[in-house]
Structures are given as structure tokens and as C-alpha cells.
Chain A
Amino acid sequence: MNITKEKKDDINVLQVEGRLDTTNYSELEDLLVRLTENNEINILLDLSALEYISSSGLRILLKYLKVIKAANGRFMLCAMTKDIREIFEISGFINIFEIFEDQAAALKS
């Protein structure tokens, strides 16, 4: 997995590439811990280059959705591929997150 971070207006855009699974979810978690501890609570995950997500990865997203919502921030997802979207549908997470077509749609929302 490779994560790149970029700030657009007051939103931290994280591009997550590759696989998010049991072996590496803590890398994303570490970054989310750092951001939320610094009160950076508007986060957009760009999943266009995410190839695989397991339940370990999904649990981290759910955990930080709750942390960020409790702090009145926004945790958004965008640009997921069809296969990744199917995993979100199976898990029921599709209805829990704010999900956008692409970065532009998320940033202007």
C-alpha cells in the first residue's frame, strides 16, 4: 500500500493505492491517528487506485468515521472502482459513508 497526502482547502486528501489488508492497515491507522490528533478532521480518501480491501481495512475506516463524526468533521470516500464498491456493498458500508464519484464532487460538496 502507498498513501499520498495532499491538502486541498481545509480537506486532507489521501490517495490510497494498492492493498489495504490485515498486514498493513496499521499504516493507514497511524496516519489517521496523527491527523485527527492534530484536529485535521476533514478527510477525503481517494480510492481510485485501491485494488483490494479486506474486513481489517474496512474496520479502520469505520473506526475513524466514528472518531471524525464525533469531532464534527467529515470523512469522505471517492472514486472507488466497481470491484471495491462491491465489497462496500456486501459489507453494508456503502450506506454508512459519504461516497462521491471523484475528488471534484467531494471537494465541492
Chain B
Amino acid sequence: MNKVVINIRNDISELHEIIEVLKELSEKWDLSKKSAMHINLALEEIITNIIFYGFNDKEEHRISIEFIKEKNGVEIIITDDGNPFDLPAAEDFMDKDKTSEIREIGGLGVHFVKTLMDRMSYKRKDEKNILTLYKETV
């Protein structure tokens, strides 16, 4: 089993699903506690951002998260039908000025994802955001 996909609703309580699947993958794919925590942190930032800012309506939406085991790491593909958001292109304010108080107004999430993940790419296809992350785990 080298691929696991979960589909969550645009509701913060669904973050628990991510915790559960990462627990499962930690065992099956032998992820270190630290790698699992870094993936969890990146996903919490990304999913929270999609849920809070991605949708202009109050309808239920689905967010798909695909975990793929690679030789030396894990690839994670997040797909949602929310507003376009190119995370890799978003400015990392913390990098620019680490002492700035900007960290309290949302810059922290982007900084976390960029720092904790090893690679990241984004495309918009068929009205959907497709964000691919890669985390080295060895």
C-alpha cells in the first residue's frame, strides 16, 4: 500500500482525520515522529487556510488529501475547489524580516509550510487548486 487518500469536509473538526491518517501512516510507512509532526503542521496550516478563506459560499465542499510513499519521502497532493491560491508563490514574510511582528497576523502559516516541506508546487486545473508537497523522511 503506497498510496492513501482521504476526503474531508470544509470543517475544522475534520483536522482530526488528518491526525488519524498520519498515525496510521507513521506505523505502516515507518515515519519518524518528527516527520509526521512536520507533515501534520503543514497540512493544518494549508487545510485551515482553505476552510477559512477558500470558499465564498456556505456550502459543503470536499478537500482531497493524497499521501504517496516515495523512496525517500512522502508526496502529499491536496486538491480543493476553492478560490485560487498559489501557496508556493505567496511571500514568506518571516524570511524577509524575522524580527517583524508580522508573524502574528498570518505570515506564520506560510512560513511553516515553506520551512517544513522540502519541495512544493501548485497548479490550477479544472477550477481546482492542486498543491503538491514533498517531505523527505530519511
Q: Interface on A for B, CB 8 Å cutoff? A: 19, 21-23, 51-52, 54-56, 58-59, 62-63, 83, 86-87, 90-93
Closest Cβ of chain A to B99, distance in Å, is 7
Known: A22-B15, A91-B108. 19 other contacts (CB 8 A): A19-B19, A22-B12, A22-B44, A22-B48, A23-B15, A51-B37, A52-B37, A52-B41, A55-B41, A56-B44, A56-B48, A58-B108, A59-B104, A59-B108, A62-B104, A63-B104, A83-B37, A90-B111, A93-B103
Contact A92 B98 (CB under 8 A): yes
Q: A58-B108, A62-B104, A83-B33 are in contact. Are A92 and B12 (CB under 8 A)?
A: no
- Interface of B, secondary structure class, is helix
State whether B104 touches A54 (Cβ < 8 A).
Answer: no
By the criterion CB–CB under 8 Å, are A54 and B116 in contact?
no
B85 at the interface (CB under 8 A from A): no
Q: How far apart are B51's CB and chain A's nearest CB, in angstroms?
A: 9
Q: Name the residue of chain A whose CB is nearest to the CB of B48.
A: A22
A22 CA to B40 CA in the complex, in Å? 12
Residue among A51, A56, A86, A90 with max Cβ neighbours from chain B (10 Å)? A90
A21 pairs with B112, CB closer than 8 A: no
A92 x B33 contact (CB < 8 A): no
Q: Which of B13, B16, B99, B112 makes the CB contact (< 8 A) with A55?
A: B112
Partner of B45, one of A54, A62, A63: A54
Contacts A21-B15, A92-B98; is A54 near B103 (CB within 8 Å)? no
In the complex, chain A residues whose CB is within 8 Å of the CB of B37 = 51-52, 83
Contacts of B48 in A (CB 8 A): 22, 56
- Please give the distance in Å from B52's CB to the nearest CB on chain A: 9
B109 at the interface (CB under 8 A from A): yes
User: Which 5 A-B pairs have CB atoms at the shortest separation, nearest pair first?
Assistant: A55-B108, A54-B44, A90-B115, A55-B109, A22-B48
Please tell me if the beta carbons of B116 and A52 are within 8 angstroms of each other in the complex.
no
